[in-house]
Amino acid sequence: MGGNYTVEVAGTPNCGVVTKSFSIINPAATVVNASSLNPKCNNSNDGILIVSATGNGPWTYTWKDHSGTVITTRSATLLTDSLKNLAGGNYSVDVTSTPNCGTITKTYSIVSPAANSVNASSVNPSCNNTANGSLVASPSGNGPWNFVWKDAQGTVVKTTNGSHSADTLKKATEGDYSVNITYPTCGNVSQNYSLAALSSTTANFTPSTDSTATSTTVTFNNNSNGATSYSWSFGDGGTSTLSQPLHAYSSQGKYTVKLVATNGNCTDSSSSKITVFLSTGINNLSTSNAIAILNSTAGTYVNFKLDSPENFSIGLYNLIGQKIMEENRYVSTETIKLDLPEGLNGIYLIRISSVSKSFTQKIYVDNK
């Protein structure tokens, strides 16, 4: 073993003694130094362990996994050794000095980063159809990240690239949203959101007719939900705050009726169009309950329900008696759609007559 030693050498014939001193030096103890690189992503195999030994080499490196299974061995080398392509886990290396100076075992841990995740938060909008909600996405790990926000229809509503911090989608209404976050090297992660309005107010109404004469009262049936007050605009300067108002128009034309329903800070609106024609004061004349004129946005129809067929003249006249069109039909029980000329707009008279019957009615025509 190492230490200081002396030897005395004496001559036999009494020739004196010679003394010598010696030192035995042990080699330096083997020291194992290690460094490591953890995987970049949660499921990646790019971790590295690097080991170097000092002392009396060469050395043999025997690498093992957490179960003790040998992964690889490198023999009789004076160089450092490394183990690459590692996933997260525990590993060990046996470093053996080739001149039979023993073995040193070292254990190391390779740590994978956490899986991609999103810390999500949101603020619901105060009212339906009100864009004051917000969504926040805060990714785990290290950026920069790219954010792509989409609405319920899959339409991109916002993108943010190269961000090192959480991202926020502002001015959101009620509904479903999603965000996809792309990491620099570790794939992506998605998060879904759903916003609900804290208060819901819906405006809706139905007028008693969409076509009326001047000075005729129209009833507006209020079908709104969640409202506490109402504001009506009838398109002719008239207004009302009643729930279900009545209104009569004094002039012919097309009017847009608008309802605004309110509940606190929440409002919603709905509108509908009404056509008003001039009331002429001409009485409808009818000598037959078996003839009816049906006038709608789909067209003008004459409905016949007769016991036997007859020849009828069907004429369209303006209010001063000028004939616009005329056609003759031999009918008994059927419905006829009139082929009215294009460009007509206003009040007209339809006169239907046969040898024994006559029927006259005012209609409003908008065939522009």
pLDDT at 242: 95
208-262 confidence digits (pLDDT tens): 888 777 777 889 999 999 899 999 999 999 999 999 999 989 888 889 999 999 9
User: From residue 207, how far is each of 215, 226, 269 by CA, in Å?
Assistant: 16, 20, 15
Show which of 54, 77, 110 is a domain's final residue.
110
Is the domain of 190 the same as that of 122?
Answer: yes
User: Is 319 within the bounds of a domain?
Assistant: yes
Q: Is 175 helix (H, G, I), strand (E, B) or coil?
A: strand
**What residues contact residue 297 under an 8 Å CB cut-off, 6+ apart?**
210
User: From residue 148, how far is each of 188, 196, 216 by CA, in Å?
Assistant: 11, 21, 56
Residues in the chain: 368
Q: How confident is the model at residue 281 (pLDDT cuts 50, 70, 90)?
A: very low
Is the domain of 36 the same as that of 81?
Answer: yes
306-318 confidence digits (pLDDT tens): 888 999 999 998 8
Assign 3-state DSSP to the chain and report helix, strand, coil percentages, each to 5. 0, 60, 40
User: Is 335 within the bounds of a domain?
Assistant: yes
**How far apart (Å, rounded) are the C-alpha atoms in residues 345 and 295?**
14
Tell whether omega for the bond before 144 is within 30 degrees of 0, i.e. cis: yes
Is the domain of 305 the same as that of 266?
Answer: no
Is the domain of 104 the same as that of 61?
Answer: yes
User: Is 18 within the bounds of a domain?
Assistant: no
Is the domain of 181 the same as that of 165?
Answer: yes
Is the domain of 359 the same as that of 294?
Answer: yes
Q: Is 223 helix (H, G, I), strand (E, B) or coil?
A: coil
Q: How many CB atoms lie within 10 A of CB 89?
A: 15
User: Is 159 within the bounds of a domain?
Assistant: yes
Is the domain of 82 the same as that of 103?
Answer: yes
Do the Cβ atoms of 296 and 337 come closer than 8 Å?
no
Tell whether omega for the bond before 245 is within 30 degrees of 0, i.e. cis: no
**How far apart (Å, rounded) are the C-alpha atoms in residues 19 and 32?**
41
Cα end-to-end span (Å), the chain = 119
Q: Domain containing 175 — which CATH number?
A: 2.60.40.10
Domain count for the chain? 4
Q: Report the number of secondary-structure helices (H) and strands (E) in the chain.
A: 0, 30
Stated pTM of the model: 0.53
Show which of 277, 296, 331 is a domain's final residue.
277
24-74 confidence digits (pLDDT tens): 776 667 788 888 999 988 888 999 999 988 877 788 999 999 999 999 999
**How far apart (Å, rounded) are the C-alpha atoms in residues 363 and 318?**
10
User: Is 3 within the bounds of a domain?
Assistant: no
Structure tokens at 204: 């809706």
Q: Domain containing 93 — which CATH number?
A: 2.60.40.3080
Phi then psi for 268, rounded to 5 degrees? -150, 155
User: Is 102 within the bounds of a domain?
Assistant: yes
Show which of 49, 82, 110 is a domain's final residue.
110
**How far apart (Å, rounded) are the C-alpha atoms in residues 93 and 49?**
10
Is the domain of 261 the same as that of 323?
Answer: no
Angle at 143 between CA 137 and CA 146, to 5 degrees: 60
125-182 confidence digits (pLDDT tens): 998 888 999 999 999 888 899 999 999 999 999 999 999 999 999 999 999 999 999 9
Is the domain of 263 the same as that of 304?
Answer: no
Range of the domain at 330: 285-366
Mean pLDDT, the chain, as a whole number?
Answer: 86
Look at 290 and 118; give whichever has higher pLDDT.
118
User: Is 38 within the bounds of a domain?
Assistant: yes
pLDDT at 16: 72
Look at 96 and 99; give whichever has higher pLDDT.
96
Query: Where does residue 350 rank: exposed (0-12), middle (13-18), buried (19+ CB within 10 A)?
Result: buried
User: Is 2 within the bounds of a domain?
Assistant: no
